[in-house]
């Protein structure tokens, strides 16, 4: 009896301590925006946000970054929007906030990742880039006039046949499509590959990359995008407003799921016995606001030991190596970025709001003047 009482009170004390800790952490959660006092000495324009929510995004002058010995300073000419950006703007799924993004306010006040631009300066240890080189890649804070990036990180020379806008659209979407098909899906020539969400940022790259691997590609999109997806090389296009791929009776060796709008058992039903289901998408801003795709990830982990197919989520890992592979594919014309709309830097909130609707055709790009 005594042990039971001790245990009961221990649990109550731990829960109360956690609640107090959470309250303190929540209300003391702050960021550089709150600490900013003086005007910047070397100003540059950048999109910043002091609190979560699209209405809190502002175009302001902040201090221009200075490259360290291993970095390059890039004058950004274009950037692109990804669902990743609205996750940070909204602070959803909320679990992200507990994983270091900032409980009440975003810790990092800058936004954007994908960029293309011209190298303005290099650190003393940098050998692979020089001032004047046109480059593209990824770096937090890309919705700005300048970014600093470690020269050995996710940055590569821009193929000459691409505009800055096209090059800026590649980093997250192109690498995600490449790694999902090559590393997780292990796509082989002649295999049947289904891409659900074939007309979006990742999907438009994925259709072209799967074709370049020699696959027989089926793209799923709505009526207005059928011609686009076919023009990217898809052998078959399923208009989801007219046909449900999960009920088609056809089987696929690999499914790349950008839009997890079918149950896992439905997806399994159209996979070959040794097929691979690669989930990358986590839904829109109003889907599963607490845990996002993680609930579905846990389901795939629970199912895995009992089924012959491989099912799981993939998180892209951006790198110079894969950007260079994509650069070669674009240089040779195997892959061409698809751009839906272009906005100005001051219009980033409108661009993110458009992407949040979930019906972009290819990539949404920001031009930085």
92/191 with CB nearer ligand NAP? 92
> Which of 65, 174, 203, 219 contacts ligand NAP by CB under 6 A?
203
Find the residue with minimal CB distance to ligand NAP: 200
Decide the pairing of beta strands 216-221 and 192-196: parallel
Is there binding between residue 197 and ligand NAP (CB under 6 A)? yes
Q: Which residue has the tokens 């439905």?
A: 266
Q: Which of 281, 275, 282, 283 is nearest to 311 (CA)?
A: 275
Q: Please report how close the Cβ of residue 48 comes to ligand NAP at its closest, in angstroms.
A: 22
Binding region for ligand NAP (CB under 6 A) out of 9-17, 44-52, 59-67, 199-207: 199-207
Is there binding between residue 288 and ligand NAP (CB under 6 A)? no
Q: Which of 232, 243, 212 is nearest to 363 (CA)?
A: 232
Please report, in angstroms and rounded to a whole number, the separation of the first and last CA atoms in the chain: 73
Which residues within the stretch 70-129 sit at the binding site for ligand NAP (CB under 6 A)? 82-83
Distance CA(51)–CA(33), nearest Å, equals: 9
Residues in the interface with ligand NAP (CB under 6 A) total: 31
Binding region for ligand NAP (CB under 6 A) out of 97-105, 247-255, 258-266, 323-331: 258-266
Q: Where are the alpha helices (DSSP H) in 101-252?
A: 164-168, 171-179, 201-212, 226-231
Is there binding between residue 361 and ligand NAP (CB under 6 A)? yes
Q: Which residue has the tokens 């301590």?
A: 17
Indicate the SS3 state at residue 89: helix
Which residues within the stretch 231-250 sit at the binding site for ligand NAP (CB under 6 A)? 240
Helix (H) or strand (E) holding 9: helix 2-28
Using CB under 6 A, list all residues that contact ligand NAP.
82-83, 172-173, 176, 196-197, 199-203, 220-222, 225, 240, 258-259, 261, 280-282, 314-316, 355, 358-361
């Amino acid at each position: 009896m005594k042990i039971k009482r001790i245990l009961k009170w221990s649990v109550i004390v731990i829960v109360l301590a956690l609640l107090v800790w959470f309250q303190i952490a929540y209300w003391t959660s702050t960021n550089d925006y709150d600490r900013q006092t003086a005007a910047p000495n070397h100003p540059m324009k950048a999109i910043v946000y002091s609190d979560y929510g699209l209405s809190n995004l502002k175009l302001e002058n902040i201090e221009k970054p200075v490259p360290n010995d291993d970095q390059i300073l890039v004058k950004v000419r274009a950037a692109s929007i990804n669902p990743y950006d609205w996750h940070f703007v909204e602070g959803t799924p909320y679990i992200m906030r507990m994983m270091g993004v900032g409980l009440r306010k975003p810790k990092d006040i800058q936004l954007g990742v994908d960029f293309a631009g011209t190298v303005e300066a290099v650190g003393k240890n940098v050998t692979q880039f020089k001032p004047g080189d046109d480059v593209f890649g990824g770096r937090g804070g890309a919705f700005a006039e300048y970014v600093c990036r470690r020269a050995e990180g996710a940055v590569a020379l821009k193929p000459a046949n691409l505009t800055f806008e096209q090059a800026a659209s590649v980093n997250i979407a192109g690498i995600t499509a490449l790694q999902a098909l090559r590393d997780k899906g292990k796509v082989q020539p002649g295999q049947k590959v289904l891409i659900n969400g074939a007309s979006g940022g990742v999907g438009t790259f994925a259709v072209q990359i799967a074709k370049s691997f020699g696959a027989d590609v089926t793209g799923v999109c709505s009526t207005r995008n059928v011609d686009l997806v076919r023009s990217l090389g898809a052998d078959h296009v399923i208009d989801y407003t007219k046909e449900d791929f999960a009920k088609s009776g056809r089987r696929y060796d690999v499914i790349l799921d950008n839009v997890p709008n079918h149950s896992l058992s439905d997806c399994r039903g159209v996979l070959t016995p040794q097929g691979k289901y690669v989930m990358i998408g986590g839904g829109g801003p109003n889907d599963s606001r607490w845990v996002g795709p993680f609930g579905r990830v846990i389901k795939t982990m629970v199912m895995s030991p009992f089924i012959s197919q491989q099912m799981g989520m993939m998180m892209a890992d951006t790198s110079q190596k894969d950007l260079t592979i994509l650069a070669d594919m674009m240089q040779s014309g195997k892959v061409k970025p698809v751009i839906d709309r272009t906005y100005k830097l001051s219009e980033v909130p409108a661009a993110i709001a458009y992407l949040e609707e979930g019906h972009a055709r290819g990539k949404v790009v920001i031009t930085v003047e």
